[in-house]
Structures are given as C-alpha cells and as structure tokens.
Structure 1
C-alpha cells in the first residue's frame, strides 16, 4: 500500500494515461471517417516535388522511438513508486518493518497467527556503546540481529520498533512452549551479535496471545515485561503472565 501523499500522484498518472489513450481513440475514429491516410497519399502524389513520402519512414521511426522512450520512463516511474512504498514501511538500515509498517501489518494478520508470541528485544547500554565505540559498531549490532531474525523467522512479523528496540510477532507458538522459545531466541541473538572486543547483552520481554487477543494490548503488556527486565539489570528475559 502506498502512503497517502503518493496515492494522488499515482492516480493522476493513471488518469493521464487513460486520457492519452482516449485522445488516440478519438483521432483514430476521425482519421478513419475522413480517410486521412488516403488523402495524404493523394496529396503527396500531387505534390511529389515536395518528396513528402520520404517523411513517412521518418515519422514511423520517430513514433517507435517515442514509444520506447515513454515505456522506459514509465518503468522508471513504477520502480520509483515501489521504492517509495518500501521505504515508507521499512527501516532502510536493517530491512525490517518500521513501526508504521508493523502496525499496518498487525491490522491484517493472517489466520495462522492463532497462537503467537509477541517479543520486544532491547540492546542494553546501547547509547554507551555508540558513545564509546562509535555509531558504526551500534549499527553493525542492529544489522546482525536483524539479519538473524530475517533468516530464522522469515514468516514472522519483524520490526525495528524504536531506535534500538526490535519487535517480533511469531505465529504458531504454544503458551506452554513460550519459555523455551524465548530462551532459545535470547541465546541465538546474543551469540550472533557478539563482536570482537565488544560485549553486547540484550533484554527481552515476551507475552503470548491467542486468536482473539488484541495485539495492541499485548504490546502494552510486553513493554511492561521489557521494562521489568531492564530495571532488574538487563541481560535477561521476562515473560508477562496473564
């Protein structure tokens, strides 16, 4: 879905194409009614000294050239719209959905999300990491975590929810297996984001929801769980039991 400020542009673009098509249809009907081509032929014969017939191949060539040029520009515009749409709903650095994209997708979750785990992942002392080692190190940590999630949970909803906070909704998770799932997730991410000479820890909050769960409400609960984990020193997982 395109953002609101892009939709009118795309609609105008389509309307212009339809208008141009309509103009060509009208021209075709007019030319057919008055036998325009036949008239041009006779005119060129009468005024053969003008060598008007030599211009016909040129006009044909120019028409093909203009059509190809227009098609190329149309494809470029289409690619532009695709890129704008992607950047409107994704984080350009990690490739994850941004908050806007995640909220939009949450409103249309597929049927397989009958039982799902909602997880917040926060990188402990991330501001200090950026200050001590540079933003390049902080960016690399986020990229590594995101690539791991995209690889292992490609069918889940994955988002860079805030600056250093990631959010995921994983379908087909049983309430009773949630603890083992988040422990495995914690260990997997922690191992993957370890950089030489840089120790990085994470805090996680998690909550389970069934098919009737309000995911906006679950986000509030999982945020409380994450806050609890960080208040206790971080580097741990807290599951909200409800």
Structure 2
C-alpha cells in the first residue's frame, strides 16, 4: 500500500513538473492547479474523518487557502519572484501562509511529543541556529540587489522559522511511533521550501506543495498527532552541542560586521528574537523539572513508598509536635493480627495489596487533624493532637476487622490497638509515649493468645 502510494505520488509529481516546464504562457494555470492540490487533499482528509485531531490540520488548511488566494490575485507571481525579498503584498501572503503552517506544525508536535517537550525545544533551537549559516551562505548571495528592508526581514524570518520547523520534524521522526511517512513528507516540504527561498527558483516550491498535499492521505497520518512515549532526556553532550549552536549566529554576525555587511545586525536581531523565547521556555521547563524532583524527594523522605502514608521519621516529628501542643496527645499503635498467613499463602503481592487497603481504611476512619503513618511491616501509628481520642480505637478495630476484597479473594484480618494518652505538660518524650502504646498493644495480644480476649479489642494505657 505504501509503495503504491509513493509510486502514485512520484508519477503525479513528475507529470506536474513536466506540465509546468512545457506550459509556456499557461504556467500560471499549472501553478494554480498545483497550489490547489494540497488544499483538496487536506479537505478530503478532514471531511472523511481520517484526521481525528483536526485543529492542527485545519490551521494548515488556512495557510493553503491564503496561498490559493495569493495565486488567484497575483497569477504567475512565483516565476522570478520567489526569494527576491521585494517586500510586496505577494510576499506578505507567502509569509502569512508559512506562519499558519508553523502554528499547525507546532500544535501537532506538542501533542505527539508531550512527554519530551525539552527535547522538542532543543531541536527547534538547533534548527534556528542553523538558519544563520544558511542565510549567510545560501540565501544572501542570491538576493536581489534592489531587495527592500521589509522583504529581507520577511525572507529572513521565513528562513529561520522553517529551519526551526525542520529541527522539530527531525526530532518528531526520531521518536518511536507510527506516522513517520507523513512526517517525512512534511520534512520534504520544509526542505524544498528552503531550497526555493535560497535559489529563487519556483520549482522546489511547487514540489513542496505536492509533498505537503501527500502528507494527510498517508495510511497513518492520524498518528502524527497522537502522543508517543519517548522518554529521551537531554544529556550533557546535547546541552554542550546546544551551547555551541547558540554561539554560531553571534560569531557569524561578528564576521559579517568586520566585512562591512550592513545586514549582519538584522540577522543577529532576527535570530536572537526567535531564539530567546525558546531559551526561556527551556529554562522554564528545567525549573519545573527541578521543582518536581524536589517535591518528589520531599514526598519520598516523609512518606511510605507502598501505602503513601507518613513514614516512621515523619511520625516521630508528628508526636513531638503533638506533645508540644496545649491539649496533650494520644498515640495509637495498630498491629495487624493474622497478616503473616496472607503472605505465606498468597504471596507478598497480596500482602502489599492488603496493606494498601488497611492504609486507605485508616485514612477514612481517622479525623482531619490526626496523622496516620506506617512504622514498617504490619504496624501502623495514629497520632492525635489531643489527650482524648474518643472512640477512635474502637472505630479502627471495627473497620480493619471487616472483610476486604483483594485480587486473590475475600480475606479477614484482625488488629490490636495500643493507646497511650498523654496530657499537656507531662514532660514525656516521644520514646516514652511510643513505649506506652507498644506496651498496651502487647498487653492486648497476650490474653488474645490465651483465648480470653476478643480479636482486635483495643487496650488503653494512661
């Protein structure tokens, strides 16, 4: 299927270019047909719902409509005027269309590489930095001596922006995922457009219309706007290359100024204005990643990895805070009964699942000011900023002893709750309070082992 479509494209492109070469005075008509071709393919793809995420493609259609209007208004303008930097309305139309293409491409890239925005920005920066050498050695030597300042500015912006798009498309194609055929056609469109601007020849630009027309009718064109998992992180080597690339345009400007080139300052201004937003975006992304890493580390330092409850270190701090308060504190040490047989019979995965259920039930039954944590194994701790915890121990026992549905089936466990209540100004430290709760918990387990206490009944020590 793909080979057949490529063959059809090559035949159509060859026929179109041959028709343009032999058309003579009929060239404006051939140009109009070629410009209208991608508009027809895009409208067909959108109408047939081949492209589920239509906004990026619809913006590209807007650019094609602008080009078609320009072709109707100035028929035959492409011959002898492409890349001339004349600053006329036709060039404004071409620049406006390129701007719409850039917007649509940016939206598609943002969707596809949502997991690698940093890499996408780096690719755009590298592409923009390549615009300077291309301008100096590829475009500028072919400029019309009578080029206007506005025309040169528009042409320079086009060259830099298309170079940035090429960098993004290369990064987009390097990511794992379908839709590379469409990306290749889009990449060919950008390269051919640059070739037309650099050489002043209309033929590459006409071929660019044909390649972009082939993009939306490829078998996996819809996948271009689908997110792909690409965990590529920017390495130090990449950042070093990026730093080198950012120095290219200033160095070229210095050389140009030393040679007396008046347009060197314009190139530096345009290149800098286009690069600065991307550099700021890159710094913003790095700052966000650092803040996220700091939040993650802070969470890991104070929370249990399995249950998400507070860990032992944080619970000790919570006890200190509660003891320093005006209302005293209550510490409830909860030790699960019958948990080990779950691990022995069903495996540690089932045991971990049971612990997460216990954690969720403890959070549900405790109050807003209570702090719930896991000490380790099957021991949990609840710290209440009050010497009066009410019937919290009984509620914990009731909820944890209820049957729980796990992936291995319904199971039932028990719990022994040791409670230590300390009034304000007692002078006791955390170790003493935890020791009291621990003693109460073991005192509750002793009669249960002898069969004289119901499973899970809490025991309170003052």
Normalised by the size of structure 2, how large is the TM-score? 0.39
From the superposition, tell whether residues 106 and 116 of structure 1 become closer, same or farther in structure 2 (CA, over 3 Å).
closer
CA RMSD after TM alignment: 2.9
2:183 matched residue in structure 1: none
Of 409, 412, 417, 1:199 maps to 412
Cα distance in 2 for partners of 1:120, 1:143 equals 17
Alpha-carbon distance in structure 2 between the residues aligned to 1:116 and 1:191: 28
Which of 181, 186, 189 aligns to 2:400? It is: 189
Shift of 1:45: 11
Query: What CA distance in whole angstroms lies between the structure 1 residues aligned with 2:295 and 2:330?
Result: 31
- Report the number of matched residues: 199
Deviation at 1:55, TM superposition (A): 2.3
Residue in 2 that maps onto 1:224:
439
For residue 52 of structure 1, report the CA deviation from its aligned partner: 3.5
Residue of structure 2 aligned with 1:87, choices 296, 300, 304: 300
Gaps (5+ residues) in structure 1?
1-39
- Which sits farther off after the overlay, 186-195 or 58-67? 186-195
Structure 1 residues 226, 44: CA separation in 2 closer, same or farther (over 3 Å shift)? same
Q: What do the CA deviations read for 1:143-184 (whole angstroms, capped 9, x no partner)?
A: 11211222332321111012110000123453xx74x43223
Q: Are residue 239 (structure 1) and residue 459 (structure 2) matched?
A: yes
Instruction: Give yes or no for contact 1:118–1:207 (8 Å, CA) kept in 2.
Output: yes
| Larger Rg over CA atoms | 2
3-state SS in 2 of match to 1:107: helix
CA contact (8 A) 1:130 1:137 kept: yes
Normalized per residue, which structure has more helix? 2
Is residue 134 from structure 1 mapped to residue 134 from structure 2 by the alignment? no
State whether residues 121 and 204 of structure 1, in contact with CA within 8 Å, keep that contact through their aligned partners in structure 2: yes
1:161 is paired with a residue of what secondary structure?
strand
* Structure 2 residue matching 1:144: 3-state secondary structure: helix
Which stretch has the larger CA shift, 141-150 or 50-59?
Answer: 50-59
Runs of 5+ in structure 2 lacking a partner? 1-252, 450-454
2:321 corresponds to which residue? 108
Q: Which structure is richer in relative contact order (CA contacts within 8 A, separation 6 or more)?
A: 1
Please say if residues 397 and 417 of structure 2, whose CA atoms lie closer than 8 Å, have aligned partners that are also in contact.
yes
Q: Residue 79 of structure 1: CA displacement?
A: 0.4
Deviations, residues 62-118 of structure 1 (Å, cap 9, x unaligned): 122111101111110110010011011101221111101211233333876614321
TM-score, normalised relative to structure 1: 0.71
Alignment of 1:45-64 (within 5 A): 47-48=260-261, 51-64=264-277
